[in-house]
Amino acid sequence: MGPHVRRIESLVPRRTPAFGGKAKNLAALARAGFPVPAAYAVAAELCDDFLRATLAPDEQPAALLAAPSRDVTPERLADIAARVRRAPLTRAIAADVHAAFATLRNEGARAIAVRSSSLREDEQARSAAGLHDTVLGVDHEDALDDALRAVWASSFDPRVLGYLRALGSASAEAGLGMGVVLQALVPADVAGVLFTVNPLSADPGEMVINASFGLGKTVVDGSVSPDTYRVDKASGWVRDRVIGDKARAIRWDDERGVFEEDVPAEERAQESLSEDVLDRLIELGVRIEDHFGDARDIEWAVVGRNVYVLQARPVTAIATPPRRTSSRRARRADRARIVWSNVNVGEALPGVATPFTWSVLSGFSDRGFRRAFGALGCSVPKDAELVGNFRGRIYLNMSEFTAIASQVPGLRPRVLLSLGGGGEIDRLEHDVERRGSAAFLARLPMTASRYVRENARLGERVAQFEKWFEAERARIDGIDFRVLSATALHRVLGEVERLLDPTGEVLLNVYGNLLACVVALRGLVGAVADKERADALMRELLTGLDDVDSAAPGLALYRIARIARGDLRARDHILRTPPAELRIASIPEGPTRRALIDFFARYGGRGAREAEIAEPRWREDPTLPFTTLRLHLMSEHDEGPEEVQQRQHEVRDRAQAELESLLPLPVRLSGGALAVRKLLTLVQDFMRLREHLRGHVVTVLGLYREVVLDASRRLAAMEPGCGPDGGFFLTVDELHALLKGDVGPVSVLIRRRRLQYERDRALPPPPDTFVGFPPPVEAEELPDGALRGLGASTGRVIGIARVIETASDATSLAPGEVLVVQQADVGWTPLFLAAAAIVTDLGGPLSHASVVAREFGVPAVVNVRHGTRVIRTGDRIEVDGDAGTVRIVERAHATRDREEHARDATPRA
């Protein structure tokens, strides 16, 4: 055997670049003692010699790469590849590879895998994953020759040349040769991939494992839905496991070679990994990452109880933050008791988040919560995990929250959950380790002094912030991104990031004040009112606000409908045209059109699921506003928002008078009533200000969207496989790196993440609150057919349910129906005035949807958990905003049967 065919463990990784990236990484694994199958590496020089003997000079890979792309057609490349696959190997090449093959067979390999090891493959900055061929199950010399030529011929795949062109001239300078690895085939029972960093969120504290039956080809090429495990790296605790369908498996045996078969139906729903093998994979992933010192994409195979590493390439195109320094204090038993909830935060970021949105808002949330607790005088552990991602959805670690909050005397879990919603109160009350209050009390004078100082000038701070924010927003909004260089767009992205942080800081300052005032108000109400009346009294005290920004779009559309009733041409056009087809330009000239122009200038940056940066805004897709306008024009209700608001004012005034009357006489005489009014004024002022500042956060997210859309346009031009929205499937750090030119092609990464995103969206959402990791979701229906939630807006209504999943479905809502949605952020609220009542799976009584529902006087129950799964469109349901229940009065099919029976019984002429 010559020097160009070497045993894999004999290679010194830093001194053997001529054998390619895969061979170098396998050599490092083998020399470190990892379980790598026996293998030989074939140098790229043998491929170069073969191609020089087979092809003309202008057909060599380097010449094709340098030629104009118009001269390198797919047809020409296919012809070259076909000649490469047909050409005989030279005697010297055949002798060397046959000798390596014979050695592997004599050592016990039943067959081998012939894998590419390009000089441009499995590198630190680029992977070329899946671009070159791999041939499995080679068990005789003729098949070996065919497989070797097939791998070399894959250099002429149009995808490969496109990839190398995208890398630029550095690719040709670094070499284009194709090394090969001859590796003993592992006849896997189970195989898959392991990422030592979450490839979707880029979270370095979490690894992700995909597994399926048979050889790993079905997992890496995406032809099956594999089992997915998300693992906390510090503790080894499996945070989430999703069992895939695994309908097909590729296997190998001595008689049939490589073959594909259906997996029996009873096996598909079973986990492919035993707990023992899963533990060993987790340990192996940590060891490999520690050995290389970076994140790794590991292909592995299992036979019996033995785990083999087939390759371990660097995870490219992921700009991961520094690895967390963990004390590993979270043992598995501890992880099993963690309570996770998205009851309140799920409204802010509902549904599955794209990687870009998750990277922005998870960091924003973590920093914000730490500041908020710090402002209260609580200490927060550096390694505290406050925010988690489960099946693409954001969750809060309520165990950690309540443990941190326990430093405040009297602030118990039951109080926190009564404000924000969520379950497992008893577990949080009894299981969470209490933290002492001594340090909190020692800091209390300083905390109180800072609180008084900051709030004394809060109005001034907010005014200064508003002036600065508007100037920065206008400046960034005025930039034409299309004329910027990539590095200039990178700088603009940084400016948008710097706009978000101070916005959140001011918002959290206000929210902290609001929370403190509401806790004080709730404590007062609980002290003087009986338990049954206290919740309703709190709701009534928090209603009747004027000028809440969250309600402004809905009110504006109602007023535009009034204008349109007198503008007959505009009214008729709106009623005749499907909402999805309506645009301002199509509205006849007149007062309605002018009012709509003003509406979209003010509120065009809002939208349903507006915290998801990938979601279109109203100015891009105005279907929901036009649907709302149309519903108002179709409605026969005479009572308008002004009358509703007046009635809500009266509700609040009566509740305030009731609270004052419940105060003990000595307290009233000593100025207690005045203190109550002052506290209520503070609550109302802070709530208005919070809603106003939240609008600024949405504005910043809209600026992010503009940057990512332009970056996606550039990406699609360079790599069409990324699609028009590819930038949303990168993290913010990765997008920075891409714009700076620090990473190579990302289309493979984006395609992988898009598949994971779609898969997460197809899964039923985890429960709003769970312990450890999410169990299968089952609808919880109370014995009397009712769903229990939190009353958010008083009133009781019986009506027909309309279950809506996306904003585009809103066109099906009819006036007077009950709107049932998973969550309702501000982008949904214009529909509230047209609905008879609101039901949401998520949300708390202080949520934005709750605030708007109260202002509109629409009965609302939030946090019913499984409303969208239990309730069906057409059901007749009762919504009781006082009791916090939703009851199914009659199922849709029963209603239809009764109507059909009535029609059949009607005499016909």
827-878 residue pLDDT tens: 677 888 888 999 988 766 656 567 677 777 889 888 787 788 889 999 999 9
Cβ atoms of residues 62 and 176 within 8 Å: yes
Cβ atoms of residues 116 and 180 within 8 Å: yes
Given a cut of 60, whether residue 897 has pLDDT beyond it is no
Beta-carbon contacts of residue 251 (< 8 Å; ≥ 6 apart): 187, 214, 215, 258, 259, 260, 261
Helices (H), 15-140: 21-31, 44-54, 61-66, 74-86, 91-106
710-739 residue pLDDT tens: 999 999 988 888 899 999 999 999 999 999
Range with top average pLDDT, 358-367, 439-448, 631-640, 785-794: 358-367
140-185 residue pLDDT tens: 999 999 999 999 998 888 777 766 775 554 444 445 678 899 999 9
Give the pLDDT mean for 562-571.
94
Rounded distance between C-alpha atoms, residue 460 and residue 287, angstroms: 54
Q: Which helix (H) or strand (E) holds 108?
A: none
Beta-carbon contacts of residue 250 (< 8 Å; ≥ 6 apart): 136, 214, 215, 217, 218, 258, 259, 260
Reading the block at residue 443, the tokens are 């800091």
308-322 residue pLDDT tens: 999 998 876 555 544
Q: Tell me, yes or no, if the pTM score tops 0.85.
A: no
Instruction: Give Cα 71 to chain centroid, integer Å.
Output: 42
How would residue 564 be classed by pLDDT, with cut points 50, 70 and 90?
very high
The predicted structure's pLDDT at residue 128: 45
How would residue 7 be classed by pLDDT, with cut points 50, 70 and 90?
very high
How would residue 125 be classed by pLDDT, with cut points 50, 70 and 90?
very low
12-64 residue pLDDT tens: 876 666 888 888 889 999 989 899 999 999 998 899 899 999 999 988 888 88
The predicted structure's pLDDT at residue 570: 94
CA distances from 274 to 190, 270, 278 (A): 10, 10, 6
Q: What is Dmax (Cα atoms) for the chain?
A: 109
CA distances from 492 to 185, 355, 472, 474, 712 (A): 50, 20, 11, 13, 15
Q: Is beta strand 393-397 parallel, antiparallel or unpaired with respect to 296-303?
A: unpaired
Range with top average pLDDT, 159-163, 244-248, 431-435, 657-661: 657-661
Helix axes 74-86, 44-54, angle to 10 degrees: 100
Annotate 524-541 with DSSP letters as a single string: HHHHHS-HHHHHHHHHHH
The predicted structure's pLDDT at residue 354: 93
Nearest-CA neighbor of 190 among 347, 291, 310, 81? 310
